[in-house]
Amino acid sequence: MTKVGIVGVTGYTGMELVRIILSHPELDLAYATSRTWAGKPLAQALPAVKERTELRISLFDPVGAAGAAEVVFLCLPHNEAMDAAAQLVGLGTRVVDLSADFRLKDADVYEKWYGSHSQPQLLTKAVYGLPEIYRDRIAEASLVAVPGCYPTSVILGLLPAAQGGLLNPDSIIADSKSGVSGAGKEPKADLHFPEVEGNFSAYNIAGVHRHTCEMDQELAGILGQPVSITFSPHLIPVSRGILSTIYSDPAIAVDADGLVDLYRERFSSEPFIKVRSIIDPLPSIKDVRGTNQCIIAPRVDSGNGRIVVVSCIDNLVKGASGQAIQCSNLMLGLPETLGLEDMPLLP
Query: What is the distance between the alpha carbons of residues 149 and 317, in angstroms, rounded to a whole number?
Result: 9
Nearest to 211 by CA among 187, 232, 196: 232
**Closer Cβ to a second copy, 94 or 274, answer by number:** 274
> In angstroms, what is the minimal distance from the CB of 125 to a second copy?
28
Query: What is the distance between the alpha carbons of residues 230 and 206, in angstroms, rounded to a whole number?
Result: 6
Q: Which of 75, 149, 213, 312 is catalytic?
A: 149
> In angstroms, what is the minimal distance from the CB of 218 to a second copy?
15
Query: What is the distance between the alpha carbons of residues 238 and 286, in angstroms, rounded to a whole number?
Result: 10
> In angstroms, what is the minimal distance from the CB of 255 to a second copy?
12
* CA–CA distances in Å: residue 7 to residues 17, 58, 88, 103, 229: 11, 9, 11, 18, 33
Nearest to 73 by CA among 19, 143, 133, 137: 143
**Closer Cβ to a second copy, 120 or 344, answer by number:** 344
Angle formed at CA 132 by CA 276 and CA 248, multiple of 5 degrees: 55
**Closer Cβ to a second copy, 118 or 199, answer by number:** 199
**Closer Cβ to a second copy, 5 or 179, answer by number:** 179
> In angstroms, what is the minimal distance from the CB of 95 to a second copy?
25
DSSP three-state, residue 30: strand
327 assigned to active site: no
DSSP three-state, residue 247: strand
Catalytic residue numbers?
A: 149
